[in-house]
């Protein structure tokens, strides 16, 4: 039995006439008759009976039509699903996102992805960049959205936008608006991420290299995103995204302390093993991300 035989039988049921069914299928009536004979031989049952100039389905014919309808529908759905998978309009993406990227990039990216591919499913893991890279290395993630290491050659990287990190404090901080000396900077404590975070390592390296003392850390946190109000309500110094600072100036009273020494260049983008290893859905995500930001400097 071939799938087309079932389709032919359904056409006969829908038209109630061999000639009209043959015309709708684009085949000859003898070819359609042979199809029915083939099915009747396979199932050892009479499927059609003549009634004047028309025909009607036997009980066996009705049963086979019912099953055939389900089979044809299931195969059509499967075909659409397979096409969607191939086009990236469906599928599963294991996405790693740095905390900053999850806050200001992920909403727009997922919004456009789910609009373009409503059947895509996402598993999102938010974490530190080094932990996400480890998960990517172990094939526990498909792709990472986060800041790109300066000399990262292990993974393919697609830069999306620049987002430097700068020295910040509350708007009424004594250092606000001035270029602080090492002595002035050393008068105040800091709120910083843990020592394992790349931004803190960069900050400490720059300060030591310029003859400044290491920051005196009073509060250490695994993320600074939710602690901006703490900075605004104290005289603690910190190290935050310039973009976040500009976007939230009206909501959080923070300012950039003008110290070019402590402007850390940072580029956000995507990291993955290779384009060929990405699923079609992950490739669609990467393509959409590229169109959203187009490496905006």
User: 265-277 pLDDT, tens per residue?
Assistant: 999 999 999 888 8
| Cβ proximity of 204 and 227 under 8 Å | no
Residue 22 scores a pLDDT above 70: yes
Q: What pLDDT is attached to residue 89?
A: 78
pLDDT tens digits, residue range 111-167?
Answer: 999 999 888 889 999 988 888 999 999 889 999 999 898 776 789 999 999 989 999
Residue 256, pLDDT above cutoff 80: yes
pTM listed for this prediction: 0.64
**Phi, psi at residue 195, to the nearest 5°?**
-65, -25
**Look-up of token digits 């199809």:** 35
For residue 47, the 8-state DSSP code is: -
Q: How many CB atoms lie within 10 A of CB 113?
A: 23
10 Å Cβ neighbour count for 160? 23
pLDDT value, residue 172: 92
CA dihedral (137, 140, 142, 147) positive or negative: negative
**Do 112 and 292 meet the contact criterion of CB atoms below 8 Å apart?**
yes
The answer to whether residue 13 scores a pLDDT higher than 60 is: yes
Distance of CA 180 to the CA centre of its chain: 42
What pLDDT is attached to residue 50?
Answer: 83
What is the average pLDDT score of the chain? 88
Phi/psi of residue 83, nearest 5 degrees: -65, -40
24-43 residue pLDDT tens:
889 999 999 999 999 999 99
Is the separation of the CB atoms in 47 and 64 below 8 Å?
yes
Mean pLDDT value of segment 209-216: 91
With a CB cutoff of 8 Å and minimum separation 6, the contacts of 184 are: 175, 178
Rounded distance between C-alpha atoms, residue 218 and residue 199, angstroms: 17
Q: How many CA atoms lie within 13 A of 127 on its CB side?
A: 15
* Calpha distance 101→194 (Å, rounded): 18
Q: CB pairs under 8 A, 24+ apart, for 153-157?
A: 155/271, 155/272, 155/273, 156/271, 156/272, 156/273, 156/274, 156/275, 157/269, 157/270, 157/271
Give the side-chain half-sphere CA count within 13 A for 74: 7
Distances (CA, A) of 22 to 26, 52, 61, 72, 178: 6, 18, 18, 19, 87
Q: How does residue 168 score in pLDDT terms, banded at 50, 70 and 90?
A: very high
Q: How confident is the model at residue 296 (pLDDT cuts 50, 70, 90)?
A: low
């Amino acid at each position: 039995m071939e799938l087309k035989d079932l389709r032919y039988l359904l056409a006969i049921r829908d038209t109630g006439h061999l000639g009209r069914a043959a015309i709708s299928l684009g085949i000859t009536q003898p070819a359609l008759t042979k199809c029915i004979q083939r099915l009747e031989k396979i199932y050892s049952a009479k499927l059609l009976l003549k009634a004047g100039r028309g025909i009607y389905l036997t009980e066996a014919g009705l049963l086979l039509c019912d099953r055939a309808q389900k089979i044809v529908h299931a195969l059509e759905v499967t075909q659409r699903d397979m096409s969607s998978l191939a086009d990236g309009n469906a599928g599963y993406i294991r996405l790693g996102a740095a905390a900053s990227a999850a806050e200001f990039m992920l909403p727009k990216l997922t919004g456009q992805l789910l609009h373009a591919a409503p059947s895509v499913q996402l598993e999102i893991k938010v974490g530190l960049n080094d932990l996400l890279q480890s998960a990517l290395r172990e094939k526990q993630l498909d792709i990472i959205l986060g800041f790109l290491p300066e000399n990262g050659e292990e993974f393919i990287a697609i830069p999306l936008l620049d987002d430097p990190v700068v020295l910040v404090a509350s708007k009424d901080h004594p250092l606000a608006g001035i270029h602080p000396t090492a002595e002035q900077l050393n008068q105040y404590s800091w709120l910083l991420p843990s020592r394992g975070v790349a931004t803190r390592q960069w900050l400490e390296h720059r300060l030591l290299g310029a003859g400044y003392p290491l920051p005196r850390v009073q509060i250490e946190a695994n993320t600074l995103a939710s602690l901006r109000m703490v900075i605004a309500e104290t005289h603690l110094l910190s190290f935050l995204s310039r973009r976040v600072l500009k976007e939230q100036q009206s909501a959080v009273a923070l300012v950039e302390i003008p110290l070019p020494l402590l402007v850390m260049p940072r580029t956000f983008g995507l990291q993955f093993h290779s384009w060929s290893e990405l699923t079609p859905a992950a490739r669609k995500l990467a393509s959409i991300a590229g169109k959203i930001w187009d490496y905006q400097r």
